[in-house]
Amino acid sequence: MTQPRLSLVDTDPAELAVDAIVIGLHSQPDEGGALLPAAGAESIAAAFDGKLTSTLALLGATGSPGEVTKLATLGTITAPLVVAVGLGDEPSGSAPAPETLRRGTGAVVRALAGSETVALALPVPDDADAPGVLRAILEGALLGSYRFAGYKTKPQPGRREPVSALQVHVPDAADEPARSEVSRASIVAAAVRQTRDWVNASPNNLRPPAFADAVVAAAEGTGLQVEVLDFDELKAGGYGGIVAVGQGSAAGPRLVKLSYTPAGVTDPKRVALVGKGITFDTGGISIKPAAGMWEMKSDMAGAAAVGATMLAVAALEPGIAVTGYLAMAENMPSGTAYRPGDVITMFNGKRVEVLNTDAEGRMVLADAIARACQDGTDYLFETSTLTGGQVISLGKRIAGVMGDPATCERVKAAGESVGEPAWPMPLPDEVRKGMESEIADICQTNSSMDRAGHMLQGGVFLREFVAEGVDWAHIDVAGPAFNSGEPSGYLTKGGTGVPVRTFLALIDDIAADSAPLRG
Ligand code: BES
Ligand code: MN
Ligand code: ZN
């Protein structure tokens, strides 16, 4: 579904002819929890003649983060509805934390499905913090309004459609930095929404050839350079890992490469992004239990995030070279499937002993990583729904990061800045020792099938395929990529779009480091 139209307004919110006006609401812990309208709500509060907070309190509002309270305005202001979103305790600085605003805005825009036009009169300060605060509000609104189009054959009577136009109140709607935040947020949110769409697609509708075609179609006209390797080309090219996983499916594997080269930059820094694109993971011959297996349609979330990030990169035009590698295969059990015990020669020549065909992600990623390193790169960020161990150790919201320590810290900081938390994990020697093979260079998992350090085994394995001198991190998003629970904040059900915004923050960060090179 298309993204809502977004515009800035700087006229009095009390006079906006929209279906609903959103204001922020704080609680004041020092005043016994008394409510306080957030900055931006002044004229609305004035129109209610001092009765706004008492009425909201009467309706049960407490100002807790993400709480939504709707109030009919009965002619006090132009809009028929005021909607208060809780923003937590009164902030000490000029505005609440960006993530509080991002979540609150997401929650309120989600709750306003069914309204066509909504104005947001939230606290956008008139100072140096303004761009970050505005960014959070815009992203939260655009992501919270996401809905997967789905496959229903009939229109749903009474279904409330997502908000179609958003007006965001700012001190000065003509301000250049504010206007560029609007275009950036539209690009970033479009990438996150594209990722969600691909993840939410049913697996029969997005097998590797169709997924590759969809990515190529999305990249058309963006200026990205595109290369697609099909099954025969992968075989001929020595991509043993991708071929092994892909050979069990009637829909062959693909490796999609998308490249962005900055104009007018000599010898730019190079970033490679690699994503796991298992369009469905049955486990293969080491088949998974039936319960919940359908969620393995999300096992291509890493590739979706990389592909969508590349679309955003093409639009944002950073001063560094960025290349995306999407390793696509369908992991099926069949008469042609790879099997436990197989020894596979990978793209970099290493030989891997397969012990469990359900550890397929690392097989396809190893080849894509090795290819990225052969092409040449300074940084390599790889993301995948790699292990159930990630969910066990860090839960559904915090990604596991493995790689060289400095790069892991960089990923953690980038994730924190955008509300996609990620936590560095070690790559212990004893885990590598446990993966020794008697007959090949390495086993794909622990040789005695010991699940200890499960998530770390994935990172340790992938390290074998990263070239010397490349700053790298592996981001395991098995939990964070897919929201199997209820919507919350700007996270809707299903695909979340993690870690697209982390990637974009990393690219900004690296581009800022090499900014003096741009000429
Ligand atoms: N795609 C799964 C990991 C996964 C689990 C993603 C839960 C999202 C939610 C992966 O391919 C897998 O099957 N991993 C195995 C590895 C094991 C066989 C070494 C796992 O986690 O059990
Ligand atoms: Mn698997
Ligand atoms: Zn998998």
pLDDT digits (tens, 9 = 90+) for 248-282: 999 999 999 999 999 999 999 999 999 999 999 99
Asked if the model's pLDDT at residue 1 lies above 80, the reply is no
**pLDDT band (50, 70, 90) for residue 517:** low
Lining residues, ligand 1, CB within 6 Å:
281, 299, 356, 358-361, 385-389, 391, 445, 478
Which pTM was predicted? Answer: 0.98
Query: Which atom of ligand 1 is least distant from the CA of 283?
Result: 13
Asked if the model's pLDDT at residue 515 lies above 90, the reply is no
Cα pseudo-dihedral 53, 54, 57, 61, rounded to 10: -10
CA distance 248 to 231: 12
Query: Could you tell me the distance, in angstroms and rounded to a whole number, from the CA of residue 446 to the centre of ligand 3?
Result: 17
Asked if the model's pLDDT at residue 519 lies above 60, the reply is no
CA distance 342 to 320: 40
Tokens of 464: 């074998």
pLDDT at 516: 60
**pLDDT band (50, 70, 90) for residue 518:** low
pLDDT digits (tens, 9 = 90+) for 311-328: 999 999 999 999 999 999
Which numbered ligand comes closest to the C-alpha of 458? Answer: 1
* Atom 7 (ligand 1) nearest CA: 388
Query: Which atom of ligand 1 is least distant from the CA of 288?
Result: 13
Q: Which residues are catalytic?
A: 288, 362
pLDDT digits (tens, 9 = 90+) for 410-438: 999 999 999 999 999 999 999 999 999 99
pLDDT digits (tens, 9 = 90+) for 338-366: 999 999 999 999 999 999 999 999 999 99
Instruction: Choose among 35, 49, 39, 36: nearest CA to 13.
Output: 39
CA distance 517 to 238: 37
Asked if the model's pLDDT at residue 102 lies above 80, the reply is yes
pLDDT at 450: 84
Asked if the model's pLDDT at residue 448 lies above 90, the reply is no
Beta partners for residue 99, in sequence order: none
- Over residues 96-105, the mean pLDDT reads 97
Q: How many CB atoms lie within 10 A of CB 392?
A: 13
Please give the domain boundaries of the chain with CATH numbers for all domains.
5-174 (3.40.220.10), 202-514 (3.40.630.10)
pLDDT at 94: 82
Asked if the model's pLDDT at residue 55 lies above 70, the reply is yes
Share the mean pLDDT of the chain: 97
Asked if the model's pLDDT at residue 196 lies above 70, the reply is yes
Cis before residue 405, ω within 30 degrees of 0? Answer: no
Residue type for position 77: I
pLDDT digits (tens, 9 = 90+) for 118-135: 999 999 988 888 889 999
